[in-house]
Structure 1
Amino acid sequence: MKAILYILSILLCLNLEGQELERLNSIPLKAQADFIQVDQFGSIYLVLDNELRKLNNKGEYQASYSDPLQGSISDVDLLNPMNPIVYFQNSNELRILDNRLNQSRELNLAYTFNDPSSIAAAAENSIWLYDQNADQMIRYSFVENRILNRSPIISQILNDDQAEVLSFKAGFDQLVVHIKQAEKESFLLFDAQGSYQKKLSLDTSLSSYSYFNQKLSVLLSNGLLRIYNLNLQNHWDLICPVESARQVFYFHPQLYLYDGDKLHQYRVQSPSKSPNKP
């Protein structure tokens, strides 16, 4: 019965809200990674404790980077695949690599900030980070070694002193902040300079999300995939075709789902029906 329901969910996924998913392939990943990342060219990056391993779009080994003295890798950002950014939270060390994973620059954020939990790459050789003491998102130039922008105070935006910043992702044009308020999750959207734009509320919790080029893809805990087009201010819901998916990556029209063993690749077709307004 479970197998039949799973097959039906795949069939439903092919045309829910007029949106189609075309299955392309599945790439077995031999190593059991802590988490993975995928860049816009389809290259795969495995994080195995203190090692970053790069594979091509066929799952073949390309290069690796490691610095055991810094502890486990906590974040990898691929906004610019030519210069991946690696962050070690235990030591507050930021490393800028080239596309062959050779180190080109290093920076210790502890000299400027009080233990940032994560980072997200932004435009003009800068990163976003969350300053918990100030309750603000900060854009920092790691080349000029100075703060470029600050967002409004998060708790004042929400009128809630108990709101929690869980994570965030950015692009060259926007910052997306994942927050939690009284067990409910949502996203706060900011522009490239940190000006507040709007809030996107979720009706359930999420397992994973990704952001790229005005497209926000969300893997919800109820088994749905939600794709926001932030430029057009609409979204679509689809039944996730990978039952045990842990992470989602979306570079229109390519969509990737990682289940812990394989990376499944799909092509997203344009919707034939009117999408939903967020």
Structure 2
Amino acid sequence: MKILTHILLLFAVTNCFAQSKTVSLQLIAAQEVIADSYVGTDSFDNYYTIQNQVFKKKNKTAEFQYKNIALGKIESTDLQNPLQIVLFYKQMNAVVLLDNQLNETIKINFSETNPELFPTQVRLASQNRLWLYDQNSQKLGLYDFVKNHFQPITANIELPIVQSQSNYNYFYWTNNQLQLFASNIYGKINLLGNLPEFDQFELLSSTEILLKKDNILSIYNCETKTSQIIPTEEKSIKSFYYRDQILSIFTNEQIRTYKIILP
């Protein structure tokens, strides 16, 4: 009876592993680049980099640049809408919006238009607005860049925001306690979970998070609290970008683009 029990248990475990699904990658392209940092790739196969604080967009046939040295370091970028790219210059308290040829369409100097504001996180929202976390008030809000008006939507967010990303309807952020939160445009905040230590994150869904830690990429599930390592060939991963099942990895010398097949 014991032998039969062991056989059945072994069969169950083996069957479980046989049915488990893994992440797989299919290499699409590898592009040699010279850049300080890689920003991302849009749905039209344009890739964006920063070199010597010059923001660049390049494809197979054309290259565009935006340079504004007076504004200092580019703190963050938002490629959510390739027709309305957001560059945030934290040191100079300024934001620049660019069109698809990297022409400057709007420049906001908060020190002049809204001197009470000191944003530390800026992302694109809907209807001529930006998601903005104001360090002075410690509140997340929506900034109308046509009317130059900031509308706070949350109570104080006291723990420092470390990283953020957004879509038109939600703003996501992590704090220094590795907690992941989401706020909708009405200011309703949800705790999505606690993350393991990471260097960079991208949301796959409200429960699955793509994480980079050192030179390892993994998918973390906030519900099951489990991680699955993504099998990559790169020995050195400086940063990555994910969009519509396309994973791009920057290795300092190349941008390697994969079709990612999720379990």
Find the counterpart in structure 1 of residue 252 from structure 2. 260
Find the counterpart in structure 2 of residue 104 from structure 1. 105
Gaps of at least 5 residues in structure 2 are 1-18
Find the counterpart in structure 2 of residue 197 from structure 1. 190
Letter in 1 for 2:86: I
Q: How much does 1:265 deviate?
A: 0.9
Distance (whole Å) between structure 2 residues aligned to residue 79 and residue 19 of structure 1: 25
Describe the superposition over 1:160-215 as per-residue Cα deviations: whole angstroms up to 9, x where unpaired.
xxx3211211111211112112xxx2311222333102232112x21212347867
Distance (whole Å) between structure 2 residues aligned to residue 257 and residue 34 of structure 1: 11
The structure with the larger Rg is 2
Distance (whole Å) between structure 2 residues aligned to residue 173 and residue 213 of structure 1: 14
Q: How much does 1:236 deviate?
A: 6.3
Gaps of at least 5 residues in structure 1 are 1-14, 156-162, 272-278
Q: Does 1:26 align with 2:48?
A: no
Match of 2:228 among 216, 233, 237: 237
Worse-superposed segment, 207-216 or 118-127:
207-216
Distance (whole Å) between structure 1 residues aligned to residue 20 and residue 39 of structure 2: 28
Find the counterpart in structure 1 of residue 16 from structure 2. none
Find the counterpart in structure 1 of residue 135 from structure 2. 132
Distance (whole Å) between structure 2 residues aligned to residue 222 and residue 177 of structure 1: 22
TM-score under structure 1 normalisation? 0.76
Q: How much does 1:18 deviate?
A: 2.6
Is the CA contact (8 Å cut-off) linking 1:17 and 1:238 kept in structure 2? no
Distance (whole Å) between structure 2 residues aligned to residue 16 and residue 192 of structure 1: 38
Find the counterpart in structure 2 of residue 78 from structure 1. 79
Is the CA contact (8 Å cut-off) linking 2:30 and 2:256 kept in structure 1? yes
User: Structure 2 vs 1, CA of residues 84 and 253 (structure 1 numbering), >3 Å: closer, same or farther?
Assistant: same
Distance (whole Å) between structure 2 residues aligned to residue 211 and residue 99 of structure 1: 25
1:208-227 to 2 correspondences below 5 Å: 208-211=200-203, 216-221=209-214, 223-226=216-219
Distance (whole Å) between structure 1 residues aligned to residue 139 and residue 70 of structure 2: 30
Distance (whole Å) between structure 2 residues aligned to residue 213 and residue 199 of structure 1: 11
Q: Does 1:142 align with 2:145?
A: yes
Q: How much does 1:234 deviate?
A: 9.5
Equivalent residue pairs, number: 241
Q: How much does 1:100 deviate?
A: 0.4
Describe the superposition over 1:18-65 as per-residue Cα deviations: whole angstroms up to 9, x where unpaired.
332222221110x23244233233321111233111012x5x642111
Is the CA contact (8 Å cut-off) linking 2:126 and 2:168 kept in structure 1? yes
User: Structure 2 vs 1, CA of residues 106 and 134 (structure 1 numbering), >3 Å: closer, same or farther?
Assistant: same
Distance (whole Å) between structure 1 residues aligned to residue 102 and residue 218 of structure 2: 32
Q: How much does 1:239 deviate?
A: 2.8
Find the counterpart in structure 2 of residue 173 from structure 1. 169
User: Structure 2 vs 1, CA of residues 16 and 207 (structure 1 numbering), >3 Å: closer, same or farther?
Assistant: farther
Is the CA contact (8 Å cut-off) linking 1:171 and 1:212 kept in structure 2? no
Match of 1:50 among 50, 53, 56: 53
Q: How much does 1:154 deviate?
A: 2.2
Is the CA contact (8 Å cut-off) linking 1:74 and 1:118 kept in structure 2? no
Secondary structure of 2:23's match? Answer: coil
CA RMSD, aligned part only? 2.8
Secondary structure of 2:39's match? Answer: strand
User: Structure 2 vs 1, CA of residues 125 and 217 (structure 1 numbering), >3 Å: closer, same or farther?
Assistant: farther
